[in-house]
């Protein structure tokens, strides 16, 4: 066992003290705290800051909104710009507005994302309030059910099966109390807890804290009471859980995109700096210009556009029975190329019916039903559909007195709740002068612990090769989709279940259950198949039962693996099996999470849909964890997405919306990066060839900002059907290729514009070539030149957005959404008019004559024609555009 991580000092101190001493230490009374005392204790002893997951807190969301790869790039550039403002002015104009504008964009984009994150959080909280974690607390002499967020250190609370332990507790009572600590320690077996004082060694392991219930543990069986020692982030779970959350697909993709832009920047910036410094001889001016090139290559509004896309998709999903708790999960929906689901409740109706209770030869057996009833009645583990199906026999007419008498005659003595290693539950009841152990569980697991069988009141030894006999008796039923449990018993004198109790059992018979497939499941699976999302079944159920359900839903299940087979595979074999197998049965919760981890390591974006506590490790291991309606509270807290209807059809809508969001983000990233790249190449070349800089830093920044503001409408753009027909990865690997293909086209037309302005228009308006003019005339020459290039660049950048948003013929084969058209037209009009206003003069630009606009129409028309032809070549060569 690994050494214990840092624990709150109270835990080690209180573990070795009796609970009576604790009452004195915390000044507790048998009546518990009053409300006023609890409030004071929260102030003096702390309340752990945040009960819910730290990444759900407002400070964490605020941090995420501003601290992402794109925003950090912009922040670095803004800081550098502010530092350069402290240096003396040089021949190259730089302005204090540059850094200010960048910081303004950074602030605005972060606030938009933060606002949308809060909207998503409020929507999720409205749902979670219905599912809020509550706990029984002794307050003012009464056991009251309150929110775990209102607990105070020293509170006395009561635990029941199915509860999530809300705080680190020193147990004062424990009756057959079994906790699952797998979230903390990775142990798959539940741990039995005690209320006895236990002196601890100097460096105790978690296993030695036998009287401490750690926050985040799940109560698998029994009951208990305890005193709260630590809350929230003061608990062991609270300190660790930030590291439990996986690195989301969105974060990996965003980092990759930022990396591509940074690599381009790292190459261009020093080249431009040295080229300009060597040709102009003014290294200070060269530095400022190189800084502007870096700024120009960075899409300043990228964080804001991405936030708007994600927020819009999240809002749409909120109207479609889906709560997206983190807007980044919208991107995971779009990229998801494998969906893993638990069988029960997802593919089936989640209401098991008890069809048969039979002896070892298949005859009806009231004894089997009686023993199964007592086992289910006294089993205090997490309630399951099998126990509920057994207990529904009480609803049969004229039978209530029988079950009441059975319960009266058999008092409960002890139990070991169900767990996914043993695959069975054991209950010890009083039967006359002896104790009777009743065992119910997986047929094979129970059968392996039996030494004989009972038939018509007589006991017989098991036949030769008993497992083959079991298979012969049960395979036919399970092949028809019937779930079988075995029931066994054993008489003993001890009033407790010991380590040897579950051995040498007597087999009584079997229970047969049936769970019909959902009528909507087949259509939903077909829809996901059309979306090119393969569905993998990950279930703890028996292989034969799983295969039967799959056959009814036309899911290929011939190549299926069990948990036992999975455990025997090497790492390389497991990677292949995860890819090539669609059905995994008889899995432990840990094996479900392992399969998801392997799929992610294979490069997939993986979703997981589950509803039980055994699905919690898988939900945390997936890129997007999805909890269905009615799922365990702990699971809904951990999930990224909550479905208000337990239906795979809802997922189809989420996938489609996520893909549309992702396509619109990809449009902006690719088109803006390639357009900026072409413009920067042209600016850098002109800076080396021309006797002046072709654009001031503030003009270059303004050009990008004006274009990016137009792009804010992209989240509302329409998307071609073929673009969301398949899962789409982040465009990081293809971004460089896209920039390298379309960027030089923009570079070529920028050079043509430079030539026209330098050799024809500006000399005609200023009275001669640049070197023949006076200083005042040269200033006018530069102002005309910069205004001309500003307009040509703005027109081509805005219109290229429409050309490259689709591989079809723009405006004909694929029409942009009306808001996009309106904003584009308004933007071109406003930004063209800008050069005729005092603001344009302030920015160093001069109004241009009609002859220039005739040239502008010609060059832009030719540019659009060339890009259209190039787009056809690109699609023909690479098979896709966006």
CA–CA distance, 292 with 698 (Å, rounded to integer): 8
Can you give the pLDDT at residue 259? 65
Within 13 Å and on the Cβ side, how many CA atoms surround 823?
20
- List of the chain residues with pLDDT < 50: 1-4, 48-55, 89-95, 124, 127-128, 130-131, 241-247
- pLDDT at site 374: 94
Q: For 452-503, how does the pLDDT look when each residue is reduced to its tens digit (9 = 90+)?
A: 999 888 998 887 777 776 666 666 666 677 788 999 999 988 888 887 888 9
pTM tops 0.75, yes or no: no
Contacts of 34 (CB under 8 A, 6+ apart): 139, 140
**Architecture label for domain 360-511:** 3-Layer(aba) Sandwich (3.40)
Q: CB of 880 within 8 A of CB of 807? A: yes
Taken in order 602, 604, 610, 615, the sign of the CA dihedral is positive
Determine the pLDDT at residue 35. 84
H-only helix segments in 298-455: 302-318, 329-335, 366-378, 385-391, 400-409, 443-447
Interatomic CA distance for residues 489 and 526, integer angstroms:
46
Closest CA to 275 of 613, 661, 683, 658: 683
* Structural contact between residues 643 and 627, judged by C-beta atoms closer than 8 angstroms: yes
pLDDT digits (tens, 9 = 90+) for 36-83: 888 887 777 655 444 444 445 667 667 766 766 556 656 766 676 666
- The set of catalytic residues is 342
Ranges of each domain in the chain: 252-317+655-878, 322-348+518-651, 360-511
Assigned CATH topology for domain 322-348+518-651: Rossmann fold (3.40.50)
The CATH number corresponding to 252-317+655-878 among 1.20.1110.10, 1.10.10.10, 3.20.20.140, 3.30.70.360 equals 1.20.1110.10
So what's the pLDDT on residue 66? 72
- pLDDT at residue 731, rounded to an integer: 62
Query: Could you tell me if 296 and 701 are in contact, meaning their C-beta atoms sit under 8 angstroms apart?
Result: yes
Residue 450, classed as helix, strand or coil, is strand
Other CB atoms within 10 Å distance of the CB of residue 21 = 12
The structure tokens 């809060």 sit at 118
Q: What pLDDT does residue 656 have?
A: 82
Nearest by Cα to 539 from 505, 496, 582: 582
d(CA 124, CA 138): 29
Distance of CA 164 to the CA centre of its chain: 21
Contact 371, 426 (CB under 8 A): no
**Phi/psi class of residue 433: alpha, beta or left (left: φ > 0; alpha: ψ in -120 to 50)?**
alpha
8 Å CB contact between 308 and 715: yes
């Amino acid at each position: 066992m690994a050494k214990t991580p840092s624990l709150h000092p109270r835990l080690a101190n209180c573990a070795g003290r009796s609970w009576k001493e604790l009452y004195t230490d915390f000044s507790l009374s048998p009546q518990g705290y009053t409300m006023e005392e609890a409030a004071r204790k929260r102030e003096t002893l702390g309340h752990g800051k945040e009960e819910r997951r730290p990444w759900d807190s407002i400070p964490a969301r605020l941090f995420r909104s501003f601290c992402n790869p794109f925003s950090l790039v912009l922040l670095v550039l803004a800081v550098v710009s502010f530092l350069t403002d402290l240096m003396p002015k040089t021949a190259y104009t730089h302005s204090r507005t540059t850094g200010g504008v960048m910081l303004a964009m950074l602030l605005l984009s972060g606030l938009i994302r933060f606002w949308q994150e809060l909207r998503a959080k409020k929507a999720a909280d409205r749902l979670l309030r219905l599912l809020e974690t509550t706990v029984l607390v002794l307050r003012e002499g009464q056991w009251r059910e309150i929110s775990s967020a209102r607990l105070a250190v020293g509170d006395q609370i009561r635990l029941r099966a199915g509860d999530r332990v809300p705080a680190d507790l020193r147990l004062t009572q424990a009756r057959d109390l079994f906790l699952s600590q797998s979230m903390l320690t990775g142990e798959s077996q539940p741990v039995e807890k005690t209320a006895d004082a236990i002196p601890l060694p100097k460096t105790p392991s978690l296993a030695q804290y036998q009287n401490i219930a750690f926050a985040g543990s799940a109560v698998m069986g029994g009951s208990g009471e305890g005193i709260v020692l630590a809350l929230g982030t003061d608990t062991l779970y609270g300190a660790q859980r930030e590291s439990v959350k996986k690195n989301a697909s969105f974060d990996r993709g965003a980092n990759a995109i930022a990396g591509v832009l940074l690599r381009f920047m790292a190459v261009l910036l020093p080249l431009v700096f040295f080229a300009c410094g060597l040709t102009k001889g003014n290294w200070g001016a060269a530095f400022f210009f190189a800084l502007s090139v870096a700024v120009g290559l960075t899409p300043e509004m990228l964080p804001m556009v991405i936030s708007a896309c994600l927020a819009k998709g999240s809002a749409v999903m909120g109207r479609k029975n889906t709560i997206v708790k983190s807007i980044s999960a919208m991107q995971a929906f779009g990229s998801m190329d494998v969906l893993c689901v638990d069988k029960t409740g997802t593919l089936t109706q989640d209401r098991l019916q008890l069809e048969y209770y039979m002896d070892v030869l298949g005859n009806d057996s009231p004894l089997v039903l009686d023993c199964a009833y007592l086992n289910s009645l006294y089993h205090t583990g997490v309630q399951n559909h099998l126990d509920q199906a057994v207990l529904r026999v009480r609803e049969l007419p004229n039978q209530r007195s029988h079950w009441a008498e059975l319960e009266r005659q058999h008092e409960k003595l002890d139990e070991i709740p169900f767990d996914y290693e043993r695959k069975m539950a054991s209950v010890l009841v009083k039967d006359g002068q002896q104790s009777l152990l009743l065992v119910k569980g997986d047929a094979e697991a129970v059968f392996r612990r039996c030494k004989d069988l009972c038939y018509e009141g007589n006991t017989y030894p098991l036949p030769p090769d008993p497992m083959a006999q079991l298979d012969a008796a049960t395979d036919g039923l399970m092949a028809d989709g019937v779930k079988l449990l075995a029931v066994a018993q054993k008489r003993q004198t001890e009033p407790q279940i010991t380590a040897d109790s579950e051995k040498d059992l007597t087999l009584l018979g079997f229970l047969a259950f049936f769970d019909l497939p959902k009528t909507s499941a087949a259509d939903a699976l077909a829809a996901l198949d059309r979306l090119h999302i393969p569905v993998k079944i990950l279930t703890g159920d028996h292989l034969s039962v799983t295969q039967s359900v799959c056959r009814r839903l036309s899911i290929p299940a011939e190549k299926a693996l069990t948990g036992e087979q999975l455990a025997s595979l090497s790492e390389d074999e497991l990677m292949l099996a995860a890819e090539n197998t669609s059905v995994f049965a008889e899995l432990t919760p840990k094996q479900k999470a392992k399969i998801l981890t392997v799929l992610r390591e294979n490069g997939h974006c993986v979703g997981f849909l589950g509803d039980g506590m055994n699905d919690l490790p898988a939900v945390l291991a997936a890129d997007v964890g999805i909890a269905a309606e009615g799922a365990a509270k702990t699971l809904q807290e951990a999930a990224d997405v909550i479905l208000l209807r337990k239906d795979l059809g809802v997922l189809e809508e989420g996938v489609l919306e996520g893909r549309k969001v992702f396509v619109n983000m990809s449009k902006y990233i690719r088109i803006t990066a390639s357009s900026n790249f072409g413009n920067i190449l042209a600016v850098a070349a002109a800076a080396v060839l021309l006797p002046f800089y072709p654009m001031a830093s503030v003009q270059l920044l303004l050009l990008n900002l004006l274009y990016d503001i137009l792009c804010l409408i992209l989240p509302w753009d329409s998307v071609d059907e073929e673009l969301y027909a398949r899962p789409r990865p982040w465009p990081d690997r293809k971004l460089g290729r896209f920039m390298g293909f379309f960027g030089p086209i923009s570079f070529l037309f920028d050079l043509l514009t430079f030539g026209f302005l330098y050799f024809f228009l500006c000399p005609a308006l200023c009275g001669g070539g640049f070197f023949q003019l006076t200083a005042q005339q040269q200033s006018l020459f530069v102002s005309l030149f910069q205004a001309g290039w500003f307009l040509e660049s703005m027109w081509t950048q805005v219109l290229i957005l429409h050309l490259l948003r689709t591989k079809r013929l723009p405006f004909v084969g694929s029409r942009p959404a009306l808001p996009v058209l309106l904003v584009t037209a308004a933007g071109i009009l406003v930004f063209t008019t800008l050069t005729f206003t005092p603001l344009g003069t302030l920015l160093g630009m001069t109004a241009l004559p009609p002859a220039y606009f005739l040239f502008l129409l010609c060059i832009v028309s030719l540019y659009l024609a060339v890009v259209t032809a190039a787009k056809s070549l690109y699609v023909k060569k690479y098979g896709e555009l966006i």
